[in-house]
Amino acid sequence: MTVPVFDTLKRPLRDLRISVTDRCNFRCTYCMPKEIFSRDFQFLDRELLLSFEEIERLVRLSRELGVHKVRITGGEPLLRRDLEQLIASLKALGGLELTMTTNGALLARKAQALKDAGLDRISVSLDSLDDTVFRAMNDVDFPVAKVLEGINVAHEVGLGPVKINAVVKQGVNDHTVVEMARHFKDTGHIIRFIEFMDVGHTNGWRLDDVVPAADIVAMINAEMPIEPIDPNYRGEVARRYRYKDGSGEIGLIASVTQPFCGDCTRGRISADGALYTCLFAVKGFDLRALLRSTASDEEIVKTLSEIWAARDDRYSEIRSSETVDLPKVEMSYIGG
Ligand code: SF4
C-alpha cells in the first residue's frame, strides 16, 4: 500500500534519481574537471556500489512512499555492465516511469537493448553542436557526430521524445545556443538549456559565468518566436516554451536565476547507496549499511520516511557567496 510522505515544505517524494556508477568516460569541465578526476582518481570499488538487487529493493520500498518515477544516472550509467538487467527488474515492479540520463557516447550501441528491457525515455547531454566547442567541454575530444547518432538511434527504437540537456556557460558555448535550438526545431526532440550551476565544489563556479535563462529565451525568440507554456506536472524541472509556429518546444532549467525548489520532489541515491535530499547537499544518509544489515522492509521504509519528512532543502533559493564554497557533493557522484 502507498502512503505518500511529505517534507517540511509539503513536497512529496515522487522521483528517485539513482546513480549506478561514479565513473564517466567524459571529463566535462563543469562536472568532472580533469585536474581533479585525473588518471589516479580513486573511484568506488565494485563491492562499494549498490548491487542491482539492492537498488531494486530500495525502489520497491520507496514506492510505498509515493515514488513513481526513477531516473538512472551516473557518472555515465552506460558504463555499468549489464544495466539492462537492472532496468528489466525495475520495470517488473510495475507502475514506474523509467528514464535515464546519458552522455550518449555508448547510446547508439545500447539503445535497443535499453528499450527492450523496459526503459521509457532518455535524456542525452550535449552542450554544443560546434565540434571544437563540444570536444573542449567534454575534455576527452569526443565528437558531436557520435552523440547525434545515439540520439537518432534512441529515437528510432522508441525512446523519444529525446530530451537534450545543454549546460550553457558564458564565453564557452553561449554563442552556439541558437544553432542548437535551430537544429532540434521540428525534430520532436526537446532541447533544454541549463544554467551553469555551482554543483559540487570543484568546477570553479562563478556567477559571471552564468547565462541567465531570460537571456537564452531572448536569443532564441529573436530568430524563432517562442512563448511559455504550462508544466506537464508539478515538479517538472524545466520551464517549457513552445515555438509559435507549432514546430516543437524547448526547456529552460534555471536553478540560479529562477529557482524551483518549492516544487522539488526529487531524492537522489549515490552509487554507493547514500540518500541525498538535494543536488547541492553536503551530506547524505547511508542506506547501504541498512540494506546490508538485518533491517526489515518495514524498518527501511520507516527510515526513508523519517529522512524525507525532516527534509527542508531549498538551496537554490538561499544560494549566496557564502554557500558557493560549501563542500557540496559532486554531481558525478549523485547524477544531476
Ligand atoms: S536546489 Fe535542491 S531543493 Fe532546490 S530544486 Fe534543486 S535539488 Fe531541489
Secondary structure (H, E, C), 275-311: EECCCCCCCCEECHHHHCCCCCHHHHHHHHHHHHHCC
In sequence order, the 6+-apart residues with CB closer than 8 A to the CB of 244 are 225, 226, 227
- The structural domains of the chain, with segments of one domain joined by +, span 15-334
The CB of 279 under 6 Å from ligand 1? The reply is: yes
The answer to whether 194 touches 167, Cβ cutoff 8 Å, is: yes
To which CATH superfamily is domain 15-334 assigned? Aldolase class I (3.20.20.70)
Nearest-atom number in ligand 1 for the CA of 268 is: 7
pTM over 0.85: yes
Per-residue pLDDT in tens (0 to 9) along the chain, 336 residues: 889 999 999 999 999 999 999 999 999 999 999 999 998 999 999 999 999 999 999 999 999 999 999 999 999 999 999 999 999 999 999 999 999 999 999 999 999 999 999 999 999 999 999 999 999 999 999 999 999 999 999 999 999 899 999 999 999 999 999 999 999 999 999 999 999 999 999 999 999 999 999 999 999 999 999 999 999 988 899 999 999 999 999 999 999 999 999 999 999 999 999 999 999 999 999 999 999 999 999 999 999 999 999 999 999 999 999 999 999 999 999 987
**Number of neighbours of residue 5 by Cβ within 10 angstroms:** 21
Helix pair angle (297-309, 52-62), 10° resolution? 60
State the cell numbers at 1: 500500500
Q: Which of 266, 260, 246, 272 lies closest to 308 in space, CA to CA?
A: 266
Alpha helices in the chain (DSSP H): 52-62, 83-91, 107-117, 131-138, 144-157, 177-184, 213-223, 288-291, 297-309, 315-318, 331-334
The predicted structure's pLDDT at residue 2: 87
Nearest CA to ligand 1 atom 2: 278
Distance 43 CA to ligand 1 centre (A): 26
* pLDDT for residue 234: 84
Phi first, then psi: what are they for 122, rounded to 5°?
Answer: -140, 145
Contact in structure between 180 and 248 (CB atoms under 8 Å): no
- Supply the pLDDT for residue 235: 84
Give me the count of residues in the chain.
Answer: 336
Cell 516554451 belongs to 241
The reply to whether omega before 33 is within 30° of 0 (cis) is: no
Where does residue 194 fall: left (phi above 0), alpha (psi -120 to 50 degrees), or beta otherwise?
beta
In this prediction, residue 39 carries a pLDDT of 87
Q: At what angle do helices 52-62 and 83-91 cross, to 10 degrees?
A: 30
Q: Residue 63 has what pLDDT?
A: 97
Q: What is the pLDDT of residue 336?
A: 79
The neighbouring-strand residues paired with 192 are 165, 251
Counting ligand 1 atoms within 8 A of each CB, the residue from 279, 318, 320, 326 with the most, and so the one to mutate, is: 279
314 CB less than 6 Å from ligand 1? yes
Is 316 close to ligand 1, i.e. is its CB under 6 Å away? yes
- CB of 15 within 6 A of ligand 1: the answer is no
Q: Is 263 in the pocket of ligand 1 (CB under 6 A)?
A: no
- What's the rounded Cα separation, in Å, for the pair 254 and 331? 17
Residue 138, number of CB atoms within 10 A of its CB: 26
